Amino acid sequence: MFGRALGKTFGFLGYTLQYGCIAHCAFEYLGEFVSCSGPSMEPTIVNHDVVFSERVSRHLYRIQKGDIIIAKSPFDPHMNICKRVIGLEGDKVCTSGPSDIFKTHTYVPKGHMWLEGDNLRNSTDSRSYGPIPYALIRGRVCLKLWPPQKFGPLDQSPTGRIIETRND
């Protein structure tokens, strides 16, 4: 009797461990569900929207300008940020804010990306902390899941910002 109960317990623990490993690998290497908070990506992503962030593009170095990404915050490694890729390594980007009279530019260094929120007036992004290393990127947002009426793929930037590329 005791042996049978022990066998069932170990069997259950074995299945739990297997499914746990499968779930871990899926979320670590394929993608994850992310609940976004804050106004920085409005109107594309608003507070409490749930999105799916796929990780395959990050591993294959397929992140492009215009993509929305989830990355580790350069200020707090326990917090994630959701921003749009404005410049890749070697690109010339505008570093000044929308209300600045004089515009300043810089080049994105090798192995880094320039990120900005769609809501330029209410976003802490690369204009504040500079370009971020590619290693901080967790995934590319490809689908909005919640709210249901907004379900679907995410499109290009609603602001239509022009991005200059380096011609060296």
How much is the pLDDT for 34?
84
- The helix (run of H) or strand (run of E) holding residue 10 is helix 2-25
Active-site residue identified among 65, 83, 123, 144: 83
Q: Which residue has the tokens 């049978």?
A: 4
How much is the pLDDT for 107?
92
For the residues of 26-41, what is the DSSP string, one character each?
IIIIIEEEEE--SSTT
Quick one: 120 exposed, middle or buried, by C-beta within 10 A (0-12, 13-18, 19+)?
middle
How much is the pLDDT for 158?
53
Active-site residue identified among 40, 57, 123, 126: 40
Nearest Cα to Cα of residue 66 among 133, 160, 144, 145: 160
To the query of whether residue 40 is one of the catalytic residues in this protein, the response is yes
**Side chain identity, residue 36:** C
**Side chain identity, residue 159:** T
- The topology under which CATH files domain 31-153 is Umud Fragment, subunit A (2.10.109)
Q: What's the distance, CA 87 to chain centroid?
A: 15
pTM: 0.75
To the query of whether residue 92 is one of the catalytic residues in this protein, the response is no
pLDDT tens track of the chain, all 168 residues? Answer: 667 777 777 777 877 887 777 776 666 767 888 888 888 888 888 888 888 888 887 777 788 898 999 999 888 889 889 999 999 999 988 887 667 778 888 899 999 999 998 888 888 888 888 899 998 999 999 888 888 788 778 765 555 454 454 444
